[in-house]
Amino acid sequence: MKRIYIASNLMDAQVVIDTLATCGIKAHIFNANAVGAVGELAAMQMWPEVWVESDADMETALELLRQMHSVQSNGTKTCPQCGEENPENFLSCWNCNQALN
Ligand SMILES: [Zn+2]
């Protein structure tokens, strides 16, 4: 087994698992139940991890991840101040007016 991804939340991890599954790659989430069960600092070290079952699937899985994340980051940018998503062509955040670059 190889760890290919550390998710920021369980939903994120689940999306990765589902995407891998559609390509026939078996993967597992670890730390799925740890988030929120401990203090905030510890929780940061317990983000859900995605592990692929077969080392042979590693490269395909990483390629899929790259594709997923380039799709996700296309068209939106995240406000550094409040964390809200903004369309890529916005010059300032719709929520808090922070300048975006
Ligand atoms: Zn903002």
Tokens of 18: 């589902």
List the one residue out of 15, 95, 91 whose CA is nearest residue 50.
Answer: 15
* pLDDT for the residue 87: 83
Element (DSSP H or E) covering residue 68: helix 58-73
Specify the 3-state DSSP secondary structure of 86. Answer: strand
Tokens of 80: 């550094």
How many angstroms separate the alpha carbon of residue 21 from the centre of ligand 1?
35
The crossing angle, in degrees rounded to 10, of helices 10-22 and 58-73 is: 120
* pLDDT for the residue 41: 54
* pLDDT for the residue 4: 93
**Burial profile 61-88: b = 16 or more Cβ within 10 angstroms, e = fewer:** beebbeeeeeeeeeeeeebeeeeeebee
How many angstroms separate the alpha carbon of residue 74 from the centre of ligand 1?
18
How many angstroms separate the alpha carbon of residue 71 from the centre of ligand 1?
22
How many angstroms separate the alpha carbon of residue 99 from the centre of ligand 1?
8
How many angstroms separate the alpha carbon of residue 83 from the centre of ligand 1?
6
Q: Per-domain residue ranges for the chain?
A: 2-75
Alpha carbon 66 to its chain centroid, in Å, reads: 11
How many angstroms separate the alpha carbon of residue 92 from the centre of ligand 1?
8
Fold designation for 2-75: Alpha-Beta Plaits (3.30.70)
Q: What is the pLDDT along the chain (101 residues), one digit of tens a residue?
A: 999 998 888 888 999 999 999 999 999 998 866 555 555 555 455 788 999 999 999 999 999 988 887 655 557 888 999 999 888 888 899 999 999 87
